[in-house]
Amino acid sequence: MEQRKRDARADSLPPDTPGQSGRAIVVEPWLKRPSGRGISDDDPRTPEGRLDEAMGLARAIDLTVVEGGLVTLNTVRPATYIGTGKVDEIAGLTKSLDAGVVIMDCAVSPVQQRNLEKAWNAKVLDRTGLILEIFGRRARTREGALQVEHAHLTYQKSRLVRSWTHLERQRGGFGFLGGPGETQLEADRRVIEDRLRRIEAELDKVKRTRKLHRDSRKRVPYPIVALVGYTNAGKSTLFNRMTSATVLSADMLFATLDPTLRSLELPQGTRVILSDTVGFISDLPTMLVAAFRATLEEVIEADVILHVRDMSHVESGAQSQDVVKILGELGIEPNDRRLIEVWNKIDRLDADGRSGLMASAQRHTAGQWPVPISAVTGEGIDTLEDAIQSRLAERRLTFALTLDPSDGAGLSWLYRHAEVLEREFGEDGLMHVTVRADADNAARLRAKFPSDA
Ligand SMILES: Nc1nc2c(ncn2[C@@H]2O[C@H](COP(=O)(O)OP(=O)(O)OP(=O)(O)O)[C@@H](O)[C@H]2O)c(=O)[nH]1
Ligand SMILES: [Mg+2]
């Protein structure tokens, strides 16, 4: 009984933070299918591509990857996920390579995790656990930390339920219920739920403050341009290039976690606010998408959304599909007029790759051309700025207004809520003002100047 209780609790505990000099083995399980494709038939990724990415994720929490390999399997084993032969082989490796962590790039159940940890005498992290770990380390703001903790606890809770069901089933056979193991699990679950509720209350407070900020920014008539894209696509590099800022950009997955905003002036003089935010990844844990929804509201409400893609990456197409899918979960459809595809890192392509890319860019429907750029060399940035400008113009309306010269309050309202393009005195002694405003402010403007607008 004592033993069982301890095991059950081990499931509910968060993965230990791997040590400073963590040496890790990365295992990429690859389920064989009759079609010869991967986990799902419409998966455009290669096993090698997935393995590379998983190794990158492991390095993102400063693990030293001492070995990484594919394990093909015909079926998932309930006890250990992979076959016993492979389990033994990896046990040998963890020992000879002195690895304290094994990353399983899949979703392992609490039971599988426990069995593997025992067999390998190493900490086992699955893909969700690993991503949560990275996010936990990157969170810098209070909101970010709360969101990650929320996701982490939700993950733990889901694992509690699963192992509990397992125990229940096992005990059902003996015809009794209850016992210390279950009581402990219930207590664990209650602790998690209490904590989740407290975090939600706190997040609610933070969210209200953010909303106030956003609302007050909305009254300032600057449109928001949001950067989205797969992790490592070059969003922060582009952000820095366009705003002359120095946001951390690094060849590291999930370098950015908390959103960053900065204003910049487009060449035509329009001032916009550029927002850099967390990158996406394939199989992004759903609890993270949910937890980060508030942060991603910046994107949901943006006037223009730049989907930054790493065109030099072999899996660029698959990455793009993942981003499109997550955008869909946020309610942003692929044909949304606010979206502009930004084809980044073209400096890394050779002449053939480049001309192929330019040709396929041209094949897009007029008005939806992707913009090839290099955030590093600056190539194509001017075209991108023009594209942003013209998308904004589509969304913003221009008004020609006439004001009494003594109406200082009216004029200052216009400066606060719209972009004043022109202002002159007519021969009629009145002031003629041309302004441009976004949809929200256009409505207010119509209400305020009914005879003109
Ligand atoms: N050669 C080349 N490298 C680039 C370009 N843009 C970005 N990079 C590199 O790609 C890596 C990732 O860039 P980041 O700007 O940090 O990417 P990100 O999209 O912000 O990534 P996350 O914050 O992790 O989501 C860095 O090493 C950059 O120097 C480019 O146009 N050309
Ligand atoms: Mg970044």
The whole-angstrom separation of Cα 37 and Cα 426 is: 72
- How many Å lie between the centroid of ligand 1 and the Cα of residue 364? 25
pLDDT of res. 77: 95
Measured by CA distance, the residue closest to atom 24 of ligand 1 is 254
- Taking the CA of residue 374 as reference, the ligand 1 atom at the shortest distance is 31
Q: What is the pLDDT of residues 287-312, one digit of tens each?
A: 888 777 767 877 888 999 999 999 99
Q: Per mean pLDDT, which of 241-245, 356-360, 373-377, 420-424 is the most reliable?
A: 373-377
Gap from CA of 233 to ligand 1 centroid (Å): 5
CB-proximal residues (5 Å) to ion ligand 2? 235-236, 255-256
Tell me the CA–centroid distance for residue 374 and ligand 2, in Å.
15
**Cα 307 to averaged position of ligand 2 atoms, centre (Å):** 13
Query: What does the alpha-carbon distance between residue 372 and residue 348 come to, in Å, rounded to a whole number?
Result: 12
Tokens of 5: 């209780």
Ligand nearest the Cα atom of residue 229 = 1
pLDDT per position as a tens digit, 137-195: 888 778 888 888 999 998 888 887 544 444 444 444 333 444 445 567 777 888 999 99
* 112, HSE (Cβ side, Cα atoms, 13 Å): 21
Minimal-distance CA residue to ligand 1 atom 16: 249
Are the C-beta atoms of 8 and 163 separated by less than 8 Å? yes
Q: Report which protein residue has its CA nearest ligand 1's atom 8.
A: 234
Least confident window among 177-186, 192-201, 268-277, 414-423? 177-186
Pick the ligand that lies closest to the CA of residue 233. 1
**Ligand (nearest to CA of 240):** 1
Pocket test residue of 131, 236, 260, 296 for ligand 1, highest count of atoms within 8 A of CB: 236
Ligand nearest to the CA of 323: 1
**How many residues are given for the chain?**
453
Q: What share of the chain is helix, strand, coil (3-state, %, to 5)?
A: 50, 20, 35
321 or 421, greater pLDDT = 321
In ligand 1, the atom with minimum distance to the C-alpha of 252 is 24
Residues 6+ positions from 48 with CB-CB distance below 8 Å: 70
Average pLDDT of span 272-280: 88
**Amino acid found at 185:** L
Q: What would the mean pLDDT of 414-438 be, rounded to a whole number?
A: 88
Q: Is the pLDDT of residue 315 over 50?
A: yes
> CB–CB of 131/281 below 8 Å?
yes
At 45 the pLDDT is 83
Atom of ligand 1 nearest to the CA of 279: 25
Q: How far does residue 247's CA lie from ligand 2's centre (Å)?
A: 8
**3-class DSSP state for residue 68?**
strand
Do 305 and 337 meet the contact criterion of CB atoms below 8 Å apart? no
| Whole-structure pTM value | 0.77
Q: What residue ranges line ligand 1, CB within 6 angstroms?
A: 229, 231-237, 249-251, 253-256, 279, 344-345, 347-348, 374-376
**Number of the ligand 1 atom closest to the C-alpha atom of 248:** 16
Mean pLDDT of the chain: 83
User: Which atom of ligand 1 is least distant from the CA of 249?
Assistant: 16
Q: Specify the ligand 1 atom closest to the Cα of 240.
A: 15
